[in-house]
């Protein structure tokens, strides 16, 4: 499986959106305009209006990190038959506000490792989130194909963040660390148990394209 690689792409590729309202987060999936030599086309993936959605902007303001988990699936379209799943690639993005440093920390977790970015303002962060990403994943063989992209958005609790930190450090099997003594954290965990954290799942298919023999 090839890892997901990203590049900023230009706007305006006829993307298909899963959300019409500007106040709700939306997932947008399209096809890169420049085809491969065999006619195959890479996927373009964009997240829109994440910070305009009050559920996620408020979670971030309350120091809950937001995790975006992506899964891009490659499907072989077969007329008259059930479409065939070929393979998938996954990646995640974790967005966290660090009040002591007055900045936003973003970690993108790929199969090959972790990338980290830092932003000093909400507008700068919003521009980064909105950028269109070119995913370096292509189908194998010939025929008609399309991409199906799933996005799960969750707010992470303290325990979730500690587990993620251990995973990134290569200690996924380690025992949980003692709970930090903080009234603020205790209150947040109590509210989490009572009301639950926001979450959302989005799913969008791209248009179809044909891959030929070279």
Residue 214: pLDDT band with limits 50, 70, 90: confident
* 2 pLDDT above the threshold of 60: no
Judged by DSSP in three states, 195 sits in helix
Residue 111: pLDDT band with limits 50, 70, 90: confident
Cβ atoms 145, 38 nearer than 8 A:
no
Q: How many CB atoms lie within 10 A of CB 212?
A: 11
C-alpha to C-alpha distances, 197 to 13, 21, 22, nearest whole angstrom: 34, 22, 22
* 110 pLDDT above the threshold of 70: yes
Show the tokens assigned to 75: 């499907």
pTM of the predicted protein model: 0.76
Q: What does the domain layout of the chain look like in residue ranges? A: 16-156+197-211
Mark 67-84 as b/e (b = at least 16 C-beta within 10 Å): bbbbbbbbbbeeeeeeee
Give tens-digit pLDDT for 175-193. 334 333 344 444 544 444 4
Higher pLDDT, residue 49 or 184: 49
Cβ atoms 86, 74 nearer than 8 A:
yes
């Amino acid at each position: 499986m090839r890892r997901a690689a990203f590049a900023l792409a230009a706007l305006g590729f006829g993307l298909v959106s899963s959300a019409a309202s500007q106040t709700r987060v939306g997932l947008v999936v399209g096809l890169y305009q420049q085809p491969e030599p065999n006619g195959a086309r890479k996927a373009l993936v964009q997240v829109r209006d994440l910070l305009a959605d009050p559920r996620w902007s408020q979670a971030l303001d309350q120091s809950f990190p937001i995790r975006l988990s992506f899964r891009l699936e490659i499907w072989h379209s077969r007329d008259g038959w059930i479409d065939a799943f070929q393979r998938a690639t996954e990646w995640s993005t974790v967005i966290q506000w660090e009040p002591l440093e007055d900045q936003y920390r973003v970690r993108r977790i790929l199969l090959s490792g972790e990338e980290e970015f830092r932003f000093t303002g909400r507008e700068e962060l919003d521009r980064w989130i909105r950028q269109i990403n070119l995913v370096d994943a292509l189908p194998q063989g010939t025929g008609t194909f399309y991409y199906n992209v799933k996005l799960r958005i969750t707010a992470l609790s303290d325990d979730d963040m500690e587990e993620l930190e251990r995973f990134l450090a290569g200690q996924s099997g380690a025992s949980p660390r003692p709970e930090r003594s903080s009234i603020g954290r205790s209150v947040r965990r109590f509210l989490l148990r009572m009301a639950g954290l926001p979450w959302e799942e989005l799913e969008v298919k791209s248009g179809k394209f044909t891959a030929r023999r070279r």
